[in-house]
A and B are shown apart, each in its own frame.
Chain A
């Protein structure tokens, strides 16, 4: 597999949100606006790249029986690192995303990539895999946030596009499920057409 395709596969063929349907909690919970979705995506990408690299480096040293607990400890450490850095330098984003930042620990995408990719590949490829999947996740979350913000608040990236009030339901909980459902159908249709 070429290096480039390791990155691109995460965006379309193995898109974590629309194809693999992983990490649904932050996908639904944080996409009330495009900027929040993007922030969540980038935060997850940060953890994903670092944990992928470290796990690919130590995979040979850890006995099979304690593999999963060790991975969880490593991932949890990077999440805590992210929490401390965000509190120091991006406090308002940290507050907005709230509970979903510590919950990156239990995001199936991160542990999933450690198991499926990082423990069998070298550090460089694992980093690229982290970047690819992370970008795919970030892109999906940004798009969902964009659609919800536009329909619910008539704005894009906090800039008002139309005057007046949008259909508020899209910013609230039901809109999260419904927008994601329809976007998934759209994604299926588009990828079918591309084949």
Chain B
């Protein structure tokens, strides 16, 4: 039950893009086509789940026992950068087809603040799912990361669909490109606000 609440909360209510503003760069940058949006989302989901798992272990079994929590930012970003590299190498060897599909998005993910954001969030923020506020355990953290990434994908794909339509509509010259995309995103965020209070 609690797992279900975590998923609904991360996908809809606290959507990582539309209510927490993490990962806006790819949201605006690679959302011109539904197919690229899907590829990017799949790559993010993969890396986010993996990096959350590793940073969770790093935080609770290395940084906290040694009392060097202040090294969190620097060690997390290094782990994420290294993981992205590794995923790229492994994917190239094992599944060239998947590499073809996700490869070009992988280098962009290191600087995707959604990945670092979720990794930091699950080890520092107290969440209230069910009755008591608590820091998530390992399983919940990974579920939260997967659900956040799914929410990221959902918003990306919806947004890309709208932007494909916008391409063929007459938009005033000064609104073309990013401004109209932002205003569209605002309306989409308003729609997602309807989910608040669900959990």
Asked if residues B182 and A178 are in contact (CB atoms below 8 Å), the reply is yes
Nearest residue, chain B, Cβ from A180: B182
User: Could you tell me if A111 and B24 are in contact, using CB atoms closer than 8 angstroms?
Assistant: no
* Cβ-defined contact, B183 with A173, below 8 A: no
Indicate if B28 sits at the interface (CB-CB under 8 A).
yes
> Count of chain A residues with Cβ under 8 Å from any Cβ of B?
40
Contact A173 B24, CB 8 Å, known A76-B74, A181-B182: no
Min distance, Cβ B179 to any Cβ of chain A, angstroms: 4
A184 → chain B, closest Cβ, in Å?
4
Known pairs A103-B113, A173-B189; A181 contacts B180 (CB<8 A)? yes
Contact in complex: A174, B189 (CB < 8 Å):
yes
A25–B22 CB distance below 8 A: yes
Q: Is the CB of A24 within 8 A of B24?
A: yes
Contact B120 A181 (CB under 8 A): no
Contact with A along B158-199 (1 / 0, CB 8 A): 000000000000000011001111110111011011000000
Q: What is the minimal beta-carbon distance from B49 to any residue of chain A, in angstroms?
A: 18
9-residue interface stretch from B13-21, B56-64, B88-96, B135-143: B13-21
Residue in B73, B116, B179 whose beta carbon sits within 8 Å of that of A181 in the complex: B179
How would you classify the secondary structure of chain B's contact residues: helix, strand, loop or mixed? helix
Minimum CB–CB distance from B132 to chain A (whole Å) comes to 22
Contact of A24 among B18, B28, B78, B190 (CB under 8 A): B28
Complex Cα–Cα for A57 and B126 (A): 41
Q: How far is the CA of A174 from the CA of B19 in the complex (A)?
A: 8
Residues of A within 8 A of B112 (CB): 106
Residues of A within 8 A of B113 (CB): 25, 103, 106-107
Asked whether any CB of chain A lies closer than 8 Å to the CB of B42, the reply is no
Residue picked from A22, A80, A169, A174, most chain B C-beta under 10 Å: A174
With both chains docked as a complex, state the minimum distance between the C-beta of B174 and any C-beta of chain A, in angstroms: 5
Task: Give me 20 other A-B pairs in contact (C-beta within 8 A), A108-B25, A172-B193 excluded.
Answer: A21-B178, A25-B24, A26-B21, A76-B73, A76-B74, A80-B70, A80-B71, A83-B70, A99-B117, A106-B77, A108-B111, A173-B19, A174-B193, A176-B21, A176-B186, A177-B189, A181-B179, A181-B181, A181-B182, A182-B183
Which A residues contact B (CB, under 8 angstroms)?
21-22, 24-26, 28-29, 69, 72-73, 76-77, 79-80, 83-84, 99, 102-103, 105-108, 111, 169, 172-178, 180-182, 184-185, 188-189, 192
4 nearest A-B residue pairs (beta carbon) = A177-B186, A181-B182, A29-B21, A178-B186
